[in-house]
């Protein structure tokens, strides 16, 4: 394995704990073979500031986590949100997650999170749908001025919206969608309108629909209740309309795909270059309560990579009708069957990327499906994350979501089902190139899972970002580029591989 990576322009501090870390690829290989796996794991944990006998967090932080767990165990979270708001019971990365996707000013979104006082289905979903409705109204007004369809038609699958016509109306502002990247700039739209005032309505409509889509996603989080699922369908519908409508302007073929798997159906979106022939393609899957749009929209900026992309949601969530189990790998196998049979895709050059719990599935499929040629797993939960220790600080709403996802009737059964998902004995079966990415201070999953996986998989590289959290959201732009390069090197430029240069990593 090799060690990585440093964001551009950032210097790592150096301490005695990093003095033994290799600085060249040859030294890295020698280092990996000269130490037993246990010592290597301990060294990496020291790098992350997780020394044996020392707590990862301050006493205050630990107290907060215990308090969150106490509320979960006593089912008093909702009562406490009426006093404290929802923020203490949300994952730390929540603000980054939604603001990055929507191009929403972070201070504005944090203020709105701070004013939310309930997780109850109607109150939570209703609160966030107010903001979605504001942006739908903006988009409606702009579409009216463009003589386009109104959003009621866009949201109605039976309305038969002319996507070609919609795309033509919005095409002058396609860059608002196509070039937003992993961290969308809140000021991009105003700059575009200042530079192209004649296309202000198109830009306003595109931005309004994207922000409505994102706020509906927030309203839908983390799924499972009726009002949330209604918001999910609205968010999903906006994605299925907006992205394919603008596909021609992006020079891409973007198709909504439904793949039957037994009594269920996989919803996905397939993105390929126009006129694609035998193109390498990456299967991308997200986490416990992520949506297709959350993954797809940032990937549009990488549309010229020479690769196709198929994006799907994780089994057991949102539109699926059956719980997620270890047997759900059959769903991913069926999707790979579909991709392998698609004549525009090169069946010998298929890769996979997974985020968070989707990283679990990327890791699992790397171990069991040899048709995959390269895999990237970001923030994976694989073994330690399923233990009781990692449950400390897990909010009640996430516990209930996990229970519904895996079909557990109570916390005892949840623990049993999660432990049964362990991949600890799969690591050494992963032979293809594997890139493991995470924050060194993951508060949702165990960073040790990322370390163990990278240490034990024979052809793995590890990228840990110091002082960053789950999936390294604070360094999203850096690892997004790194991931794209890694996939392209192994799928498109297989004869000219570039590996991640190992560097020193410190706290």
**Cα 42 from Cα 54, distance rounded (Å):** 13
Assign 58 a pLDDT band (cuts: 50, 70, 90).
low
Structure tokens at 392: 């400390």
Average pLDDT score over residue span 260-278: 94
Question: In the chain, pLDDT over 70 holds for what percent of residues?
Answer: 86
**Cα 458 from Cα 385, distance rounded (Å):** 22
Q: 354 forms bridges with which residues in the sheet?
A: 285, 377
pLDDT at 6 over 90: no
Strand order in the sheet with 345-355: 2-4, 460-465, 434-439, 372-378, 345-355, 279-285, 308-312, 264-273, 252-261
pLDDT at 327 over 90: yes
411 close to 391: Cβ distance less than 8 angstroms: no
Assign 158 a pLDDT band (cuts: 50, 70, 90).
very high
The pLDDT assigned to 34 comes to 35
419, HSE (Cβ side, Cα atoms, 13 Å): 10
435-480 pLDDT, tens digit per residue, is 999 999 998 899 999 999 999 999 999 999 998 999 999 999 999 9
pLDDT at 21 over 80: no
The b-or-e profile of 195-228 (16+ CB within 10 A means b, else e) is eeeebbbbbbbbbbbbbbbbbbbbbbbbbbbebb
Would you call 132 exposed, middle or buried from its count of C-beta atoms within 10 A (0-12, 13-18, 19+)?
buried
Average pLDDT score over residue span 427-441: 96
235 close to 135: Cβ distance less than 8 angstroms: no
Q: Which of 265-279, 304-318, 492-506 comes out lowest in average pLDDT?
A: 492-506
The pLDDT assigned to 264 comes to 93
Structure tokens at 423: 């991949």
Comparing 53 with 417, the larger pLDDT belongs to 417
| Other residues' Cβ atoms within 10 Å of the Cβ of residue 87 | 15
179-238 pLDDT, tens digit per residue, is 999 999 999 999 999 999 999 999 999 999 999 999 999 999 998 899 999 999 999 999
470-489 pLDDT, tens digit per residue, is 999 999 999 999 999 999 99
Average pLDDT score over residue span 112-120: 97
> What are the helix (H) ranges across 305-429?
329-341, 357-368, 396-406, 411-419
**Cα 386 from Cα 312, distance rounded (Å):** 23
> What are the helix (H) ranges across 14-149?
25-34, 37-47, 59-74, 77-84, 94-102, 106-115, 121-145
Assign 495 a pLDDT band (cuts: 50, 70, 90).
low
The pLDDT assigned to 335 comes to 98
Average pLDDT score over the chain: 87
367-395 pLDDT, tens digit per residue, is 999 999 999 999 999 999 999 888 888 88
**Cα 447 from Cα 463, distance rounded (Å):** 11
pLDDT at 46 over 60: no
301-316 pLDDT, tens digit per residue, is 999 999 999 999 999 9
Q: Which of 59-68, 170-179, 433-442 comes out lowest in average pLDDT?
A: 59-68
């Amino acid at each position: 394995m090799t060690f990585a990576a440093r964001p551009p322009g950032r210097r790592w501090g150096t301490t005695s704990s990093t003095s033994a870390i290799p600085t060249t690829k040859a030294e890295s290989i020698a280092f990996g073979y000269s130490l037993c796996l246990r010592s290597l794991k301990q060294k990496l944990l020291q790098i992350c500031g997780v020394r044996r006998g020392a707590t990862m967090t301050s006493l205050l932080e630990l107290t907060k986590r215990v308090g969150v767990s106490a509320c979960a165990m006593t089912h008093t979270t909702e009562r406490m949100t009426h006093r404290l708001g929802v923020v203490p019971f949300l994952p730390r990365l929540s603000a980054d997650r939604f603001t990055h996707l929507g191009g929403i000013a972070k201070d504005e979104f944090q203020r709105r999170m701070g004013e939310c006082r309930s997780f109850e289905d109607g109150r939570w979903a209703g609160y966030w749908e107010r903001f979605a409705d504001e942006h739908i109204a903006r988009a409606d007004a702009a579409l009216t001025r463009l003589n386009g369809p109104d959003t009621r038609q866009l949201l109605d699958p039976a309305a038969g919206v002319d996507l070609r016509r919609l795309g033509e109306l919005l095409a002058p502002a396609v860059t608002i969608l196509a070039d937003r990247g992993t961290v969308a700039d809140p000021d991009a739209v105003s700059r575009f309108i200042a530079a192209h005032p004649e296309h202000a309505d198109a830009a306003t409509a595109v931005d309004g629909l994207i922000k409505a889509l994102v706020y509906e996603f927030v309203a839908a989080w983390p799924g499972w209740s009726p009002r949330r699922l209604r918001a999910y369908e609205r968010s999903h519908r906006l994605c299925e309309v907006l992205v394919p409508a603008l596909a021609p302007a992006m020079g891409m073929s973007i198709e909504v795909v439904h793949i039957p798997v037994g009594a269920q159906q996989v919803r996905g979106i397939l993105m390929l270059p126009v006129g694609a022939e035998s193109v390498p393609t990456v299967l991308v899957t997200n986490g416990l309560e992520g949506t297709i749009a959350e993954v797809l929209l940032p990937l549009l900026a990488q549309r010229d990579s020479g690769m196709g992309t198929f994006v799907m949601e994780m089994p057991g969530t949102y539109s699926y009708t059956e719980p997620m189990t270890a047997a759900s790998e059959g769903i991913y196998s069926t999707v790979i069957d579909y991709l392998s049979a698609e004549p525009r895709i090169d069946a010998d050059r298929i890769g996979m990327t997974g985020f968070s719990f989707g990283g679990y599935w990327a890791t699992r499929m790397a171990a069991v499906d040899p048709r995959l040629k390269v895999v990237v797993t970001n923030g994976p939960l694989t073994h330690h994350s399923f233990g009781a220790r990692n449950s400390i600080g897990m909010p009640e709403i996430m516990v209930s979501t996990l229970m519904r996802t895996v079909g557990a009737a109570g916390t005892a059964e949840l623990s049993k089902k999660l432990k049964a998902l362990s991949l600890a004995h799969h690591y050494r079966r992963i032979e293809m190139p594997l890139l493991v990415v995470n924050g060194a201070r993951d508060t949702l999953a165990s960073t040790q899972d990322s370390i163990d996986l990278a240490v034990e998989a024979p052809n793995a590289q590890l990228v840990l970002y110091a002082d960053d959290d789950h999936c390294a959201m604070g360094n999203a732009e850096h690892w997004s580029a790194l991931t794209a390069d890694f996939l392209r090197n192994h799928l498109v430029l297989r004869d000219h591989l570039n590996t991640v240069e190992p560097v020193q990593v410190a706290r």
